[in-house]
A and B are shown apart, each in its own frame.
Chain A
Amino acid sequence: MSINIIQAIILGLFASLSSMPGLGGTSIGNYTLGRPLVGGLICGIVLGDIPTGILVGCAMQVVYIALVTPGGTVSADVRAVSYIGIPLAMIALKSYGLDPASAEGTALATSFGTMVGTIGTVLFYGTATMNLVWQHMGWAWVDKREYDKLPLVDYVFPWISHICFSLIPTVAMCMAGEPVVNLIKEKLPMDGIPMKTLFTVGALLPCVGIAILLKQIVRNVLDFIPYLFGFTLAASMGLNLVASTVVAGLFAILIFKLKMLELRKPAAASSGAAVDNGWDDDEEDI
C-alpha cells in the first residue's frame, strides 16, 4: 500500500476541515470529520481499503474518546491523528502483514497514531498564530466601520493558515511516511525489545483516553461503579456495545425519575396533611 500525491492532497483537505479551529466548523469539522472513527472511514475510502481504515480508526478512537484540545487536557491534534496517523498506521499494518482486527494490529496502529498526534500539536499552534494576522486586519476594519469585510476574516483567510499548517504538512508526512515505515521495519525486528515495547505501549495507551473521560465523570469512589458495571456487561456477560447501551439507558431513566421525585418532595411536604394521608393509605395496603 502506498499513497500517491492526489490521495495525499485529499487527506490534506480533510485535515484542513477537521482540525480544532477547522474550516468545517466545530460540529461538522472537528466533532465529525476529526473523530478518528470517521477519519478511519475517510482514509479507508481514499486509500481503497475501508475495513482496515475503520479498524485503525476504532483503535485510535479509544485513545481520543475524551475531550481533545491541543494545549488542553490531551496534547494532541485531531487533524494529525486522523489524517496523518491513520494513513501511516494503515501502511504500517500492510507492511508488517498484521491483521488490523487483531490485538497486535490495534496496538501497532495506536502507538503509531498517538506519536503522530502528539507531534501534530505544533500544527495547532501554527494555525492559531497565523490567524492572528487575519484578526489584526479584522480589528482595523471594525475601526473603519467596514463591517462587510468581516466575514473574510472568519470564513476565507483562515484557509491560508490551513494550507500552510494542515494541507502541506499532511501531504509531506503522508508521502514521506512509507519509506520511514519500511526503514523502521528493516532496522527494528518485531521480536526485539524496542518493537515489543512499542506494541505494549499501544495496548496501554487507550487506558489514558478512558481515564481522561473518567476524570470528568468520577467525583468520588462510588462513581466508579457505573463504569465497572459497564465493564462487567461487556467483559463478563459478553454483551456488545449496542446491547450494553440499552441496559445503560434503563439505568439512566431510573436515575432521571428518582431525581425528579426528589425535586417534587419538598413541594409535597409543604402541603402537609395530604401527604400524611397518602402515606397512611400505603401502609394499610401492605
Chain B
Amino acid sequence: MAEKKLSKKALNSGFHRWYYGNLTCFSQEHMQTFGYLCSMLPLCKELYADDPDKMAESMDTYRTFFNTEPQLGAIIVGVTAGLEEARANGAEDVDSETINGLRAGLMGPIAGIGDSLVVGTVIPILLGIAMGMSGGGSPMGAIFYIIVWNLFAYFGMRFLYFKGYDMGTKAVEFLVGDIGNAIREAVTTLGGIVIGAVSASWISVKTSFALYNEAGEAYMVLQEKFDSVFPGLLTAIFVIFCWWLMAKKQLSPLKVMGLLVVIAFVGVLVGFFNPGLAY
C-alpha cells in the first residue's frame, strides 16, 4: 500500500477551519471541541476515504474536551494532523490514547503561554501604539491595529500549524524552551514599559483638594505637591493599589470596581475629587 500523504489542500482547509472556527460554537461545556472536530474533518476524510470504520475511530478521538489559547493552539492542531497521518499509515505507537494524551498535556501549558504572550502582551502593545496614533480622534491608530494584528495572527498561526505538522512535538519544545523563554521575557519587558506609557497618557486621576488662606487664595494645592514628587503620582498610586487588591488580596476585578465607586463617592463628599463641571 502506498504511503498516505495529506494533500496541501486538505491541510490548508484544516488550518483555515481552525483559524476561523476555533470558538464559533462555544459553550461552557465543550469550549473549542467542535472547532477542533471541524478542523480535523477534511484531513480525516482524505486519509480514511475508503474506510468508514477507521474514519469513525479517528473522529471519536477528537470528541474529547479541548480548550487552549486559539492562536498559539494552532501548533497543537498541526501536531495532531501529523500524528493522524502517521496513524493512517499504520504507525503502531499512535492511537487515540496517545493523541488525546498529547492534546491534554499540551493544552494547559500552551494556554498559559498564549494568554500571557498573545492576549496579555502582544495585543496590549499593539493597542498602545495604536492609541498613540489616535490623537484628536484620528482613525490611523485603529487602521494600524487592524492591519498589523491580523497579518501577525494569520501568518503566525499558519506558521505554527505547519511547523507542528512538519516537526511534531519538537515544534512545541521551541515555544516552551530556553529561546522561547528569552523571547517571552524580552517581550514582557517591552509590554511593561508600553503599558506604563499608556497609563500616563490615558489615565488622569487628579485631586481637587486645596487649602485656602483668609483672602481665599489657595496656598496648598495638593495636586501640585503630588506632581512635584513624581508627575502622575496619584494615577500610579491608584493603579498599584488596584494591583495590590487583586494580586495580594485576591479581590475580583468587579469587586475592585465596586470599591472604586465607594472611594469616588466618599472622595467627592469630602472634596478630594471634584470634576468641577456644571451647566
Contact = CB atoms under 8 A, between A and B. Distances in A.
Contacts of A75: 252-254
Given A135-B30, A196-B274, A118 B136 contact: no
Nearest to B279: A190
Nearest to A138: B34
Given A58-B131, A210-B195, A236-B231, A204 B24 contact: no
Interface string A121-164: 00000011101101100110010010100110111011000000
Given A67-B120, A235-B200, A255-B186, A263 B264 contact: no
B124 A215 contact: no
Given A67-B115, A131-B25, A216-B116, A54 B239 contact: no
Contact of B131 (A28, A61, A201): A61
Interface stretch (A1-9, A166-174, A224-232, A277-285): A224-232
B21 interface: yes
A158 B139 CA distance: 31
A249 B186 CA distance: 9
A215 B204 contact: no
A142 B63 contact: yes
A269 interface: no
Q: How large is the interface on B (under 10, 10 to 19, 20 to 34, 35 or more residues)?
A: 35 or more
Nearest to A27: B153
A215 B153 CA distance: 24
Interface stretch (B102-110, B159-167, B265-273): B265-273
A131 B187 contact: no
Contact of B190 (A52, A155, A235, A251): A251
Interface string A206-240: 11101111111110000110111111111110011
Given A65-B127, A214-B243, A31 B137 contact: no
A37 interface: yes
Q: Is the interface of A mostly helix, strand, loop or mixed?
A: helix
A107 B275 contact: yes
Contacts of B134: 37, 54-55, 57-58
B131 A241 contact: yes
A100 B23 CA distance: 35
Contact of B71 (A27, A213, A231): A27
B230 interface: yes
A135 B34 contact: yes
Contact of B59 (A31, A44, A147, A157): A147
A151 B22 CA distance: 12
Nearest to B26: A21
A25 B137 contact: no
Contacts of B206: 103, 203
Given A135-B29, A201-B264, A227-B192, A55 B137 contact: yes
Contact of A240 (B132, B143, B240): B132
Contacts of A151: 17, 38, 41
Contacts of A10: none
Contact of B132 (A132, A210, A242): A242
Contact of B277 (A31, A104, A153): A104
Contacts of A57: 134, 142
A41 B243 contact: no
A276 interface: no
A233 B197 CA distance: 6
A190 B235 CA distance: 23
Contacts of B45: 147
21 contacts: A21-B25, A32-B150, A37-B131, A58-B141, A118-B254, A131-B26, A138-B25, A142-B59, A142-B63, A147-B41, A150-B41, A154-B34, A197-B261, A205-B260, A208-B260, A210-B203, A214-B243, A217-B120, A231-B236, A242-B133, A259-B185
Interface of B: 17, 19-30, 34-35, 37-38, 41, 44-45, 52, 55-56, 59-60, 63, 70-71, 115-116, 119-121, 123-125, 127-139, 141-143, 145-146, 149-150, 153-154, 157, 178-179, 181-183, 185-206, 230-232, 235-236, 238-243, 245-247, 252-254, 256-257, 260-261, 263-265, 267-269, 273-275, 277-279
Given A129-B28, A204-B260, A232-B200, 19 more contacts: A23-B24, A25-B19, A28-B20, A53-B137, A59-B202, A96-B279, A106-B202, A154-B37, A155-B38, A158-B24, A199-B275, A201-B264, A207-B205, A208-B260, A211-B242, A211-B246, A216-B115, A252-B189, A255-B185
